[in-house]
Chain A
Amino acid sequence: MNRVIITVVGKDTIGIIAGICNYLAEHDINILDISQTILQGIFNMMMIVDMEKADISFDTLSEGLDRVGLEKAVTIKCQREEIFTSMHRI
């Protein structure tokens, strides 16, 4: 498994999830889980994706999602899953 966590923070607008999902689908990146909530008054979304079959590298994904984020005026961040599992799981 080559899991990456994508987080989106910003103002909720139409098409944020669609924009990201399209980008992921184009590059054979499978979405394992999506959740969203309002934290401290701000829209927060998290996706767990699997890059096992992806046709792009982690760096390219990160840059690609930066562009999607710019279009939708939200901040999109990609991080490898291990930073969260190491911190929150024993």
Chain B
Amino acid sequence: MINIYEVHETNQMIEQENLDVRTITMGISLLSCAAEDMDSLCENIYNKITSKAARLVSCGEEIEKDYGVPIVNKRISVTPISLVAASCAKSTEDYVRIAKVLDQAAKDVGVNFIGGFSALVSKGMTEAEELMINSIPKALSSTERVCASVNVGSTKTGINMDAVRLCGEIIVETAKLTKDGEFPHCAKLVVFCNAPDDNPFMAGAFHGVSEPDAVINVGVSGPGVVKTALESCRGSSFEVLCETVKKTAFKITRVGQLVAREAARRLEVPFGIIDLSLAPTPAVGDSVADILEAMGLESTGAPGTTAALALLNDQVKKGGIMASSYVGGLSGAFIPVSEDQGMIDAVQRGSLSLEKLEAMTCVCSVGLDMIAIPGDTPASTISGIIADEAAIGMINQKTTAVRLIPAMGKKVGDVVEFGGLFGYAPVMPVNRFSCEGFISRKGRIPAPIHSFKN
């Protein structure tokens, strides 16, 4: 039988170390909603989402109560809209209208974000996909809960540089539509390489075409728990360090597995995957940077940071894999700057640069995430950053992503306030040399060779 020490350990993780289930995300296929005219399409989309997800939020709350573990977000991901709407959306305005329908459906079922305003264009763009991408600035600025993503490359297809160039421009345009003090619309837009079909985390979540009609995916969290565990092994060997991370990841993931199974059972929807993640929040003590520093770095960004992050990421996966029956999504440590107080501190101390963050993305789960850059950064430079990240993903067969926030009217050293609970981000310097000549070339970068790994 369970003993008092085990009960105490679990509850201490929840109460003092910010252990939570970060998100229950219901994936809903909208392929059955395709129609010949916009009115029917919008009606079908609204009805399908609101009927499938009617009980999502209340069910999440019941589970929270039963087990005493917070489930921070309940969210929805849908089939990429560029596929669903291709038959009838003929203008960017049509896509904005669909975004508004998604927003309304999300509001009515009570979820805080809905992902899937997406286009998968790793090899080429259809007319519908190009229209959808062009509608992103307006769609995001006229809705509250819709998240957009674009997959611009993959290991199998190479990188679609036309889409990369377009995304740079779209990010700038989206940033211009953010009013001062408002939550930045760019935070709801991710550009991917090798985007996974079953990612439960926003803003990049969408419900891939290989998925069933509806599915429950769960993202776990708990950087605070790992950090506390590591504090007990200061000065010990790497073996002890790795074992500690692994055991802690196992325990955290088991909670996610339980919640996912329960949610799937109660909602009568198949269980998809657990995303084995360390997802930080701006709350003190809920930071991935703090874990790296607990391993012995003076400040995140110092030499050794990439190795420490690689170790952390790998051990989280090793511990989590055994704890869950199905693993997927982005799985690994997230390093969003503005959502991690330790990262913000490191940037402000001057120890963490954009270039070091880029190196870190080679060994962890996502990419350059939630980074504020000067508002006068040219679109071509943003495209260059996207191309660099996509290249890392393409060559290393991993998911990479870019979520940059150009801060209009701000310069390096300024701080962007996101309003409310979303925290803030220091504006980071970007290399000022131009890549215009490279980015303005048309076409795509071919798929890489899969042998001669050097």
Contacts and interface: CB of A to CB of B under 8 A. Distances in A.
From B4, B65, B69, B258, residue with most partner A Cβ within 10 Å = B4
Contacts of A86: 254-255, 257-258
A83 B14 CA distance: 11
Contact of B10 (A39, A58, A88): A88
Given A83-B69, A86-B257, A46 B1 contact: no
A45 B66 CA distance: 19
B65 A48 contact: no
Nearest to B69: A83
Interface string B345-368: 000000000000000000000000
B2 A81 contact: yes
B255 A48 contact: no
Interface string A1-44: 00001010000000000000000000000001101110100001
A80 interface: yes
Given A7-B11, A83-B10, A88-B10, A59 B65 contact: yes
Contacts of A37: 4
A87 B66 contact: no
A62 B251 CA distance: 25
B66 A88 contact: no
A46 B166 CA distance: 59
B433 interface: no
A63 to B, nearest CB: 10
B2 A88 contact: yes
B67 A80 contact: yes
B226 to A, nearest CB: 14
From B2, B10, B68, B254, residue with most partner A Cβ within 10 Å = B2
A44 to B, nearest CB: 6
B431 interface: no
B1 A62 contact: no
A48 B7 CA distance: 11
Contact of A83 (B1, B8, B68): B68
A5 B254 CA distance: 18
Contacts of B66: 58, 79-80
Contact of B6 (A45, A82, A88): A88
Contacts of A36: 4
A42 to B, nearest CB: 10
Contacts of B3: 35, 46
Contacts of A83: 10, 67-69, 255, 258
Contacts of A80: 66-67
Chain A interface residue number, banded? 20 to 34
B322 to A, nearest CB: 8
A88 B7 CA distance: 9
B255 A79 contact: no
Contacts of B4: 35-37, 44-46
B69 to A, nearest CB: 6
A50 to B, nearest CB: 12
Contacts of A72: none
Contacts of B10: 83-84, 87-88
A84 B258 contact: no
Interface string B66-106: 11110000000000000000000000000000000000000
Given A79-B67, A79-B68, A80-B66, A46 B254 contact: no
Contacts of A77: 11, 68
Nearest to A79: B68
A7 B7 contact: yes
Nearest to A83: B67
Contacts of A7: 7-8, 11
A55 B2 CA distance: 25
Given A62-B65, A82-B67, A83-B69, A33 B8 contact: no
A39 B8 contact: yes
Nearest to B252: A87
Contacts of A44: 4, 8
Interface in B131-181: none
8 contacts: A37-B4, A39-B8, A46-B3, A62-B65, A82-B67, A84-B10, A87-B254, A88-B6
Kindly list the 6 A-B residue pairs having the minimum CB-CB distance in the complex, ordered from nearest. A79-B68, A83-B67, A46-B4, A86-B258, A86-B254, A88-B6
Interface of B: 1-4, 6-11, 65-69, 251, 254-255, 257-258
Given A37-B4, A82-B258, A83-B258, 19 more contacts: A7-B11, A36-B4, A44-B4, A44-B8, A45-B4, A46-B4, A48-B1, A48-B2, A62-B65, A77-B11, A77-B68, A79-B67, A80-B66, A83-B10, A83-B67, A84-B2, A86-B255, A87-B6, A88-B251
